[in-house]
Structure 1
Amino acid sequence: MTPRRLAGIGAFTVASALLLSACGSSGSGDGDSTATGEGDGASSGVVSVSSGEPQNPLTPGMTNEVYGGLVVKNIYSGLVYYDAEGGIQNEVAESIESEDNTTWTITLQDGWTFSDGTPVTASSFVDAWKYTADLDNAQNQQYFFNGFAGFSAEESSDIAVEATDELTITAELSAPAADFPLWLGYSAFSPLPEAFFEDPSTFDETPIGNGPYVLDSWTHDQEINLVPNESYNGPRAAANGGVDLLAYTEEDTAYNDLLGGNLDVVINVPSSAFATFEDELGERAVNQPSALIQVVNVPEWLPEFQGEAGHMRRQAISHAIDRDTITEQLFAGSRTPAKDFTSPVIDGWSDDIPGSEMLAYDPATAKELWDEAESMDPVGDYTLNIASNADSDHQDWIDAVCTTIRQDLGIGCEFAPYTTFDEFLDARDNGEVDGIFRGGWQADWPSMSNFLGPVYGTGAGSNDAQYSSEEFDAKLAEAGSAPDAETATALYKEAQEILFSDLPGIPLWYQNATGAFSENVENVVFGWDSDPILYQITKE
């Protein structure tokens, strides 16, 4: 059989129904994030970007939220990276080959180094992957290695990946996966230097990477300063003098700073400006589809949502949310009502999966379901709490959701705020949230599988509601080993039918990338995943 090979920039496009459809980019740049090195040294200005405090250490195995993720993807380089449209391009990899989609041989380019001067070798990847995949190390990203032979989510394990020489990796998967190269652009698959294994606790605060930037300083709850990595010679060379990621607690404040010329890039435009920001900023406004969905998660630890009555309450809440009105009036068209658990920018997406009728606004059915649940297992005078962080723009839509829930179900409904994003995440991860809670998913790599397994698979690092279904897990495994893209897509749709039946999360809407940038910067492009591509921004 002819080997499937990823050799040379852009050679492997994975033209399958699992991948991202090309989406446009905004800004004064030309949208080509693959053209790198061209801008190296083109500008010396430091770019300021609105952000927030990361929840976890800035290491590939621990970072699984957006603030930390933006840092990690820029201080580490993996085997491949994703361009603006979600295509994969070689970075450290020279080639990625397999004859059967199960046993893979990965060859690294020679000459790569970490910012401390030590070489990037096959062992840098292998040791990092084995560490993250081992349950004993309690890494948030462990789940992403469940496709490797030898993986266990229940006990310490040693995945089947080896460094056969300084520049060669062999990996054995538990089942064929034609899209394996696509996984490898996600930050969990980044390499780690020997310094991490010598002193992980020190490394957590002062990470050493091999990416286009180096972490210069981290003032917690204030800012993270990145400077260009002088030893980086890859395709994502920084075209600016560095990036300051500023921790804002109010998105309106960040937007006003941008309007006043005191901030270069806003990642999230506040809802208060949705109706006006494109007119105010013209070509400096970004409003484009992205691989991002918003849901409300229903935690398994709440007794009122367990059993048959609990399932009816989940359905009742979903039918009591007027997605059309909220997206049109509150979000001014920057959101689209959800029809499934993935995203319309992902090939294979469908708006008619059986069970998706649960997402229709239907006050009469909602009330009937709630009342029937109450007759089976009463909760009495009940107030539904919807929890989220208060340092981002969520209260307005939660208030709007609560308005129709109170009106249609005849119960109380309130916003339950946590002061900061990391405080909210800690409460969520510790199972301390007393109510349903906001869940947003920004895809790690552009495929249907990434919207499903990491969020709803048993034991997955981002399965925040602690949902578990043997039937769903089995369907995911079947889809992951499908012989072709068409079969896999059909199976992922069947997996979503199970989710619509169980409703561990209630899909709300697909979120556009809504950002903006000042007159002080150029070549600003937001990628397929809604993040700005930092390394190609220029500033004099």
Structure 2
Amino acid sequence: MKITMRAALLASAVAFASPALAAGTGPNGEPLADDQTFTYRVLDEHSSVDPQIVEDVSGSEIVRDLFEGLYNQDADGNLVPGVALSHELSEDRMTYTFKLRPEAKWSDGTPVTAGDFVYGWQRLADPETASPYQWFVSVMNLKNAEAITAGEMGVEELGVKAIDDHTLEVTLESPMTYFPLTTTHASTFPSPKWVIDEHGADWTKPENIVVNGAYILTEHVPQERSVRERNEMYWDNEGTIIDKVTALVINDENVALTRYLAGELDRTEVPAGQYPSLKEQYPDQALSFPRLCNYYFNFNLSDMGPEATQDVRVRQALSLAVNRDIIVENVLQGGQFPAYTFTPAATANFEVPEIEYANWTQAERDARAKELLAEAGYGPDNPLELTYLYNTSEAHKKIAIAVSQMWKQTLGVNVTLENQEWKTFLETRGNHDFEIARGAWCGDYNEASTFLDLVQTESGYNDAAYSNAEVDQLLKEAKAMDDPQPNYTRVEEILSEEMPVIPIYHYAGVYMMVPEISGSWPVQNVEQNWYSKDLYKVAE
């Protein structure tokens, strides 16, 4: 006997489809603008548009338009049907059976089948793919995932199989209540094997790519722009309004703002420190809302890291000396939140634990920081010298300068600042070729493990190279718990004691956005998984 699971997503739509739109009106009867294009700014060139290779936020935004997974999200972050219409869960809570919509097609007219998901997930797990997100199959708790990623078992043993073209069966290692949430992540999207076989690494070029999402890639000029346009083969093309989406690479936040104000962009990020004045000048265009992201500093705890920061007292001192209130209130000024835990308070079903130093005054933190650094043997006669690495951005630079000045004034630490272009930065940090490096993470799903798994020993994004057996065990146990909060609380307590990373702040989405489109933007979704197919411009 199986338990039918509709999740929050399927309460009102077993066979979801967007309502047919009356000519010239939006989903709620709004008059639509004649121009249904959306142009927005990104800081850097995206890492990839290959679902199993992409690793950054801007790339994932594109991939969510080009490909569609089992489930999508609505404007509030709830799951809604994508290729899957529903799923059933076995009594032992270990097997999920997804029913796929028969009308789903690839852009070349080929039907989307369960086998396309099997191929994509096996490709993700395969060590030969060398996916930066290979570890996600373990995060999903798929059967045999760890053995496969370790090269000890073939990909055909992964807990996913096609029962028939429209039935996908997924088997887990153990029950995990939030498993369906992981299926909105780009790495779980299907891939067209016949196209990859023919074109290899070039399969994602506009002239070769075959997709199953609402849009198809029509142009890509590296370091300049990426363009996607309506995919007429998409199952809900009739319910899609935006015709064309362009992402422009603009490395300077202030240049981007100037171009936005000149009418060249529909959305851009607000430069650090400018939100209050822009909100006053443009109250209907400046937006700020909580996001499911954290900003932190990694210590390099690998064998390649500096000797000084192997000492927990040094790490604690550096963390305590960061005045987070100054960062969010004076430097950023966009509604961000000072962070004393790794996991943001905006995370669903997560209770922020009491962290002792979070309740101290900054004067108390500074005093304790000085004591700790002196105990570690550093002071005027033996000053600590470190290098901080960040990816090029005016906001990151301002934060780096502010924190380095705090460390200098409070502790006498001399900090050299180094910035790198995004892809170079990712490679340098991933190779542990740094002393302290910027880190940031936006949740892959709305559950605390999406953050805390980053400090698990084998995590693909454990850039600090941190390893703690108790943390690993707590996180492993949490996957099968109905209430994992006690485990998450303990992990956060350990992190605050051992300080492998310094939490700096938790994000807000701080945008300038034209009023014509802001009404359809999913501001209530803290994950900020947005889909161009759900956007539309209203008439002025």
For Structure 1 versus Structure 2, the TM-score category normalised by the shorter chain is: 0.7 to 0.9
Matches within 5 A, 1:89-488: 89-98=80-89, 99-146=91-138, 147-152=141-146, 153-157=149-153, 158=155, 159-194=158-193, 195-206=195-206, 207-234=209-236, 237-266=239-268, 268-301=269-302, 310-354=311-355, 357=358, 361=362, 362-374=365-377, 380-418=382-420, 420-433=421-434, 435-453=435-453, 455-482=454-481, 484=482, 487-488=483-484
| Structure 2 unaligned blocks of 5 or more | none
1:63 maps to 2:57: no
Q: 2:38 aligns with which of 31, 47, 59?
A: 47
Sort the Cα spacing of 1:496 and 1:356 in 2 relative to 1 into closer, same or farther, 3 A: farther
2 CA distance for matches of 1:282 and 1:503? 40
2 CA distance for matches of 1:401 and 1:508? 10
Contact 2:390–2:425 (Cα < 8 Å) also in 1: yes
1 CA distance for matches of 2:226 and 2:118? 29
1 CA distance for matches of 2:355 and 2:337? 19
How far residue 472 of structure 1 moved from its aligned partner, in angstroms, is 1.4
1 CA distance for matches of 2:406 and 2:8? 54
Instruction: State the AA in 1 paired with 2:499.
Output: L
Q: Normalised by the size of structure 2, how large is the TM-score?
A: 0.88
Sort the Cα spacing of 1:401 and 1:122 in 2 relative to 1 into closer, same or farther, 3 A: same
Q: Any idea what the Cα deviations from partners look like across 1:297-339, whole Å, max 9, x if unmatched?
A: 1122366656996211110110010011221122225211113
2 CA distance for matches of 1:282 and 1:37? 33
Sort the Cα spacing of 1:281 and 1:132 in 2 relative to 1 into closer, same or farther, 3 A: same
SS in 2 for 1:258: helix
Contact 1:102–1:175 (Cα < 8 Å) also in 2: yes
Contact 2:383–2:412 (Cα < 8 Å) also in 1: no
Instruction: State the AA in 1 paired with 2:315.
Output: R
Q: Any idea what the Cα deviations from partners look like across 1:504-536, whole Å, max 9, x if unmatched?
A: 211011111001113564534144224654333
How far residue 10 of structure 1 moved from its aligned partner, in angstroms, is 3.5
2 CA distance for matches of 1:314 and 1:492? 22
Sort the Cα spacing of 1:161 and 1:299 in 2 relative to 1 into closer, same or farther, 3 A: same
Sort the Cα spacing of 1:293 and 1:510 in 2 relative to 1 into closer, same or farther, 3 A: same
SS in 2 for 1:283: coil
2 CA distance for matches of 1:437 and 1:308? 12
Q: Any idea what the Cα deviations from partners look like across 1:68-91, whole Å, max 9, x if unmatched?
A: 111111111111012222211111
SS in 2 for 1:184: helix
SS in 1 for 2:491: helix
| Structure 1 unaligned blocks of 5 or more | 14-33
SS in 1 for 2:282: helix
Sort the Cα spacing of 1:502 and 1:55 in 2 relative to 1 into closer, same or farther, 3 A: farther
Contact 1:42–1:240 (Cα < 8 Å) also in 2: no
SS in 2 for 1:49: strand
Contact 1:36–1:536 (Cα < 8 Å) also in 2: no
Contact 1:45–1:241 (Cα < 8 Å) also in 2: yes
Instruction: State the AA in 2 paired with 1:365.
Output: R
Q: CA RMSD in A?
A: 2.8
Instruction: State the AA in 2 paired with 1:239.
Output: I
How far residue 354 of structure 1 moved from its aligned partner, in angstroms, is 4.7
Q: Any idea what the Cα deviations from partners look like across 1:179-205, whole Å, max 9, x if unmatched?
A: 211111111111111212443311143
Q: Any idea what the Cα deviations from partners look like across 1:347-379, whole Å, max 9, x if unmatched?
A: 333343456649974111111111211269x99
Contact 2:286–2:511 (Cα < 8 Å) also in 1: yes
Q: 1:509 aligns with which of 505, 511, 516?
A: 505
In the alignment, what sits opposite 1:497?
493
2 CA distance for matches of 1:500 and 1:358? 13
Contact 2:73–2:529 (Cα < 8 Å) also in 1: no
2 CA distance for matches of 1:340 and 1:380? 31
Instruction: State the AA in 2 paired with 1:438.
Output: R
Contact 1:52–1:245 (Cα < 8 Å) also in 2: no
How far residue 254 of structure 1 moved from its aligned partner, in angstroms, is 0.7
1 CA distance for matches of 2:458 and 2:238? 34
Instruction: State the AA in 1 paired with 2:144.
Output: G
How far residue 497 of structure 1 moved from its aligned partner, in angstroms, is 2.2
Contact 2:443–2:527 (Cα < 8 Å) also in 1: yes
SS in 2 for 1:163: strand
Contact 2:273–2:330 (Cα < 8 Å) also in 1: no
How far residue 55 of structure 1 moved from its aligned partner, in angstroms, is 4.7
Contact 1:76–1:209 (Cα < 8 Å) also in 2: yes
Q: Any idea what the Cα deviations from partners look like across 1:429-461, whole Å, max 9, x if unmatched?
A: 22223x2111111111111111111x2222322
Instruction: State the AA in 1 paired with 2:264.
Output: N
1 CA distance for matches of 2:388 and 2:322? 13
Which protein has greater RCO, CA pairs closer than 8 Å, 6+ apart? 1
Contact 1:92–1:108 (Cα < 8 Å) also in 2: yes
1 CA distance for matches of 2:320 and 2:7? 49
Q: Any idea what the Cα deviations from partners look like across 1:205-263, whole Å, max 9, x if unmatched?
A: 34422111111111000000010111112399532121110001101111111112121
2 CA distance for matches of 1:235 and 1:356? 53
How far residue 470 of structure 1 moved from its aligned partner, in angstroms, is 2.6
How far residue 423 of structure 1 moved from its aligned partner, in angstroms, is 2.4
Q: How many residues align?
A: 513
Q: Normalised by the size of structure 1, how large is the TM-score?
A: 0.88
SS in 2 for 1:142: coil
2 CA distance for matches of 1:12 and 1:178? 21
